[in-house]
Structure 1
Amino acid sequence: MADITHLIAQLAEHQYPRQDSTPPMQANSSNSPNSQLTPESRITVYVPDEEANSSNSPNSQPQHFAAPQRPRLSLEALYGPAGEVIRRLAPITEADPAAMYVQLLVGLGSLIGPGAWFMADGARHQANLFAVICGRTAKARKGTSWSRVRNVLLDLDEPWLTAQVKSGLVSGEGLIESFKNDADKRLLLFEGEFGQVLQCMKREGNTVSVILRQAWDGTRIAVLRRKDPIEVEDAHISLIGHITLPELHRLLASVEISNGLANRCLWVFADRERLLPEGGGLPDLYDPVVDLNTAVISARYRGQLERDPAARQLWAEIYEELSEEPPGQLGEILSRGEAQVMRLALLFALLDRCSTIGCAHLEAALSLWHYCCRSAAFIFADIAANPKSVRIHEALQGGPLTLSQVHALFGGHARKAEINLALRELDAQIVVENIEGSKGKIVRLR
């Protein structure tokens, strides 16, 4: 799990400080990414003795990783008319601004449809996005975040919302049948119980995962059944799923990570933002909604967009970073960074009513992608499937332990190197501290 926390630090050290997502409600804080990595927010991770005693080892000094904290998207990072809607909603709702922002973007991308796109290495990319909103519990106000966004989309296009936003996905065949005869091939799948969709994917022969991956990749989706093959051309399918962390960790199979379904999604960690005993109010959204309506109408037949010269130069500078894939499970989940950033940049350009993708659109997209990376790192920062890691984690739930007590858990049947490895795999969940006045160390859960 060191990969996960290390990635958080890497992402935060990006060279474009103006784009970073700093915690909201901190008006005096710097917008620099490094402002989040103060000495107080770093922890010292346990370094195995074998490495620490080696003068040539990069671990001969204490390692510092960013503490895994709840990812936040600052209100300053919200871009364009969609961002303005969320800025006005944020103070008067318990819903997470990031969850509202991403869901609004998914809805707008669906509303625009297949008439605007960009090309990347021969592949056509439209503004259809997939997003999964994860909360610790059912009280994360995921449903509230969608209700707020749904009301905005209702003002923009009630017939589309009524006819083209559907729920209840159980099979790929059912998905195709649900709209194969519709003249309008835009479809926004809203799954408030995304765990049920993941459960369906576990059934032998179920084609949900295959069809969703086809839907994200291109405009044709098909199931080639022996007697009655079915397909839809020019499909423009978007997805919003809601799930709790325990459900996600229980139901998301490793195969859905390795086969690429997970990396087609933007992952958003949502939490209850504030307590409003009397409920939230209704802000004045007239101006930004009018701007969005004008932008959506003008974008529907915009055709192919390309990056302008300045954006091409910026793209060349950030492309290598986006192409880098961290090792392990998290790397598989974040392995479509280039495509995700460009789809977001396309959408931001369309909402700005531009005929080209500019630097501002790339920067806004990169800022949101970095937030989604931090969210994914937080969401999937679960303990590794190492039985020794599991044993230590379970023991620590009863209270802190000294390192000697940790070693004693295995009754002399585990080598020191194995225990050291287990501790390093748990660094997202534990803190190892020096015992004052002693050379010993104590381990506790965060």
Structure 2
Amino acid sequence: MNSDGKAADSSRQPAVDGEPISELQMAAHRNSPQPDPACLYGLIGDVAQAGSEGTETNAYAIAANFMGYLSCAVGRGVYLPVGNTWHHPRLFCLHIGRSGRGRKGDALSLVLRIDQALRELNDSFAPQIHRGGLSSREGLVALMHDGYRQGRQEIPAIEDKRLWVVESEFANVLHQGRREGNTLSASLRDCWDGVCLKPATKSNRLYASYPHVCLSGAISPSELTGLMTARDLTNGFANRFLMIWAERSQILPFPKATPQATVDSLARRILDVLAFVGSDRHDQRDRLRMDLSAQAQWHYAQLYRGELHEDLGSELVSAMLERRAPMLLRLAMLFALTDLQLRVDVHHIDAAMVWMRYSTASVRYVFVSAAEEAKMAQTIELANRVLAFLQARGKA
């Protein structure tokens, strides 16, 4: 049922390589995801609320963009070891919303103002920002290269590998990925993993070691479902993004600007976080080890064995959310750092988990039709009943 009490049309549904749904159908096919207010944790919540107060901009969209920015500014100085993998707080965020209603550009405005205020306080703590649109692996590497020779001239290396990519038209990235021979998608996967970007061909000697790339993208649901290929869904590209559905929170013909005093105050608090981790020491990686408290370890283990790996009832949804566990850890790291501590506590895990639930609901909303959602819920319920029966009887 839609908001008018009428039956939603489920005959057409999101398609990956077929016909994308219209944005009108997306609005009506069922209730949109409602994030938990607990998402707005600490400093991240303060930034989000400052940007949404007196405006149409969705606070959770501001928060997601700010988390992308802050995760980049923190850099590779802090790490959390899990087995043989060292995680850095590096995030790719994708804001999904209908054209004109997502207020996708507005969700970035305050973050960019805060960045400017941070640069005025101390430019060495602010990361490089690229807003020009990415087109190739070579173009991405050129933004953080390790130096190269151009004729007789030696081009010096870019020492600061922190790069916040802002893709206001994320459809551009998906278009580039469809071009024959284009390796941008693979390069972004490597960046999320923190892998060194080596030359794609023998003739191109441009490379970048130890990149710290974070990305904030925005796209409409019809573009996302129409342009994302089956390959994007199965090769791990899509599941590296924290996808959230967010649209304007209210209608205001004359929104208010966030006071400059508020922007400056937030910038000073961010500077405290970046000074705490020493993010201006660009050449010093993996200096500060983060760990989970004993309680946080137990809590994360319960989530890992349960909700983070539960059957979502759809191969598509499961594939797109396959990296929820490492993403949760990265978010929890970021929340702990905003509290100026290297220990991840239970409340940091909880704040990260509500973001994962929000992302799960958003992916289902965009990629699964209302009819499929009902069928999926019924299947999961039946499976849980069978499991409960077997646990009670031991065998059957």
Tell me which interval the TM-score lies in, with the shorter structure as reference length. Answer: 0.7 to 0.9
The structure with the largest alpha-carbon Rg is: 1
Question: Partner of 2:144 in structure 1?
Answer: 179
- Counterparts of 2:315 and 2:209 in 1: how far apart (Å)? 35
Question: Which residue, out of 149, 155, 170, partners 1:194?
Answer: 170
Question: Partner of 2:154 in structure 1?
Answer: none
- Counterparts of 2:127 and 2:69 in 1: how far apart (Å)? 13
- Counterparts of 2:98 and 2:177 in 1: how far apart (Å)? 23
Question: Partner of 1:358 in structure 2?
Answer: 345
User: How does the TM-score come out when normalised to structure 1?
Assistant: 0.68
Question: Partner of 2:233 in structure 1?
Answer: 257
**1:128–1:237 Cα contact (<8 Å) kept:** yes
Question: Partner of 2:291 in structure 1?
Answer: 306
1:325 to 1:207, Cα distance in 2 relative to 1, 3 A? farther
**2:117–2:263 Cα contact (<8 Å) kept:** no
Question: Partner of 2:334 in structure 1?
Answer: 347
Question: Which residue, out of 197, 203, 207, partners 1:227?
Answer: 203
**2:57–2:247 Cα contact (<8 Å) kept:** yes
Q: Deviations over 1:113-146 (max 9, x none)?
A: 1101111221121111001111122332000011
1:424 to 1:97, Cα distance in 2 relative to 1, 3 A? closer
Q: Where does 1:233-312 land on structure 2 (aligned, <5 Å)?
A: 233-283=209-259, 284-300=262-278, 303-312=288-297
Gaps (5+ residues) in structure 2?
Answer: 8-28, 146-156, 280-286, 379-396
- Counterparts of 1:425 and 1:310 in 2: how far apart (Å)? 37
- Counterparts of 2:32 and 2:89 in 1: how far apart (Å)? 28
Tell me the SS of whatever aligns to 1:69: coil
Q: Deviations over 1:392-442 (max 9, x none)?
A: xxxxxxxxxxxxxxxxxxxxxxxxxxxxx99977999xxxxxxxxxxxxxx
- Counterparts of 1:138 and 1:294 in 2: how far apart (Å)? 36
1:208 to 1:121, Cα distance in 2 relative to 1, 3 A? same
Structure 1 residue identity aligned to 2:175: Q
User: How does the TM-score come out when normalised to structure 2?
Assistant: 0.77
Question: Which residue, out of 88, 111, 134, partners 1:149?
Answer: 111
Question: Partner of 1:408 in structure 2?
Answer: none
- Counterparts of 1:88 and 1:217 in 2: how far apart (Å)? 32
Structure 2 residue identity aligned to 1:174: G
Identity of matched residues, % = 27
Instruction: Report the CA distance between 1:75 and its aligned residue.
Output: 3.8
Question: Partner of 2:304 in structure 1?
Answer: 319
Q: Deviations over 1:62-92 (max 9, x none)?
A: xxxxx94211234443111121121233222
- Counterparts of 1:95 and 1:247 in 2: how far apart (Å)? 21
1:104 to 1:424, Cα distance in 2 relative to 1, 3 A? closer
Structure 1 position 212 matched with structure 2 position 188: yes
Structure 1 position 164 matched with structure 2 position 129: yes
Structure 1 position 128 matched with structure 2 position 90: yes
- Counterparts of 1:332 and 1:70 in 2: how far apart (Å)? 21
- Counterparts of 2:373 and 2:51 in 1: how far apart (Å)? 43
Structure 1 position 380 matched with structure 2 position 367: yes
1:425 to 1:187, Cα distance in 2 relative to 1, 3 A? same
1:167 to 1:427, Cα distance in 2 relative to 1, 3 A? farther
1:121 to 1:324, Cα distance in 2 relative to 1, 3 A? farther
Tell me the SS of whatever aligns to 2:360: helix
- Counterparts of 1:97 and 1:217 in 2: how far apart (Å)? 28
**1:310–1:358 Cα contact (<8 Å) kept:** yes
Structure 2 residue identity aligned to 1:300: G
Structure 1 residue identity aligned to 2:343: T
- Counterparts of 1:165 and 1:294 in 2: how far apart (Å)? 24
Tell me the SS of whatever aligns to 2:344: coil
Tell me the SS of whatever aligns to 1:133: strand
Bigger Cα displacement from structure 2, 217-226 vs 257-266: 217-226
Instruction: Report the CA distance between 1:313 and its aligned residue.
Output: 1.3
- Counterparts of 1:125 and 1:190 in 2: how far apart (Å)? 22
Structure 2 residue identity aligned to 1:150: L
Instruction: Report the CA distance between 1:382 and its aligned residue.
Output: 4.6
- Counterparts of 2:233 and 2:201 in 1: how far apart (Å)? 26
- Counterparts of 1:140 and 1:376 in 2: how far apart (Å)? 16
- Counterparts of 2:175 and 2:77 in 1: how far apart (Å)? 34
Question: Partner of 1:369 in structure 2?
Answer: 356
Q: Deviations over 1:15-69 (max 9, x none)?
A: xxxxxxxxxxxxxxxxxxxxxxxxx99x9x9xxxxxxxxxxxxxxxxxxxxx942
- Counterparts of 1:364 and 1:76 in 2: how far apart (Å)? 6
Question: Which residue, out of 297, 316, 325, partners 1:329?
Answer: 316
Question: Which residue, out of 42, 49, 54, partners 1:87?
Answer: 49
- Counterparts of 1:218 and 1:363 in 2: how far apart (Å)? 25
- Counterparts of 2:170 and 2:34 in 1: how far apart (Å)? 23
- Counterparts of 2:357 and 2:38 in 1: how far apart (Å)? 14
Tell me the SS of whatever aligns to 1:141: coil
**1:176–1:231 Cα contact (<8 Å) kept:** yes
- Counterparts of 1:423 and 1:274 in 2: how far apart (Å)? 28
- If asked which structure has higher relative contact order (CA below 8 Å, sep 6+), I would say 2
**2:144–2:211 Cα contact (<8 Å) kept:** no
1:347 to 1:427, Cα distance in 2 relative to 1, 3 A? closer
- Counterparts of 1:119 and 1:270 in 2: how far apart (Å)? 32
Instruction: Report the CA distance between 1:280 and its aligned residue.
Output: 2.0
Question: Partner of 2:77 in structure 1?
Answer: 115
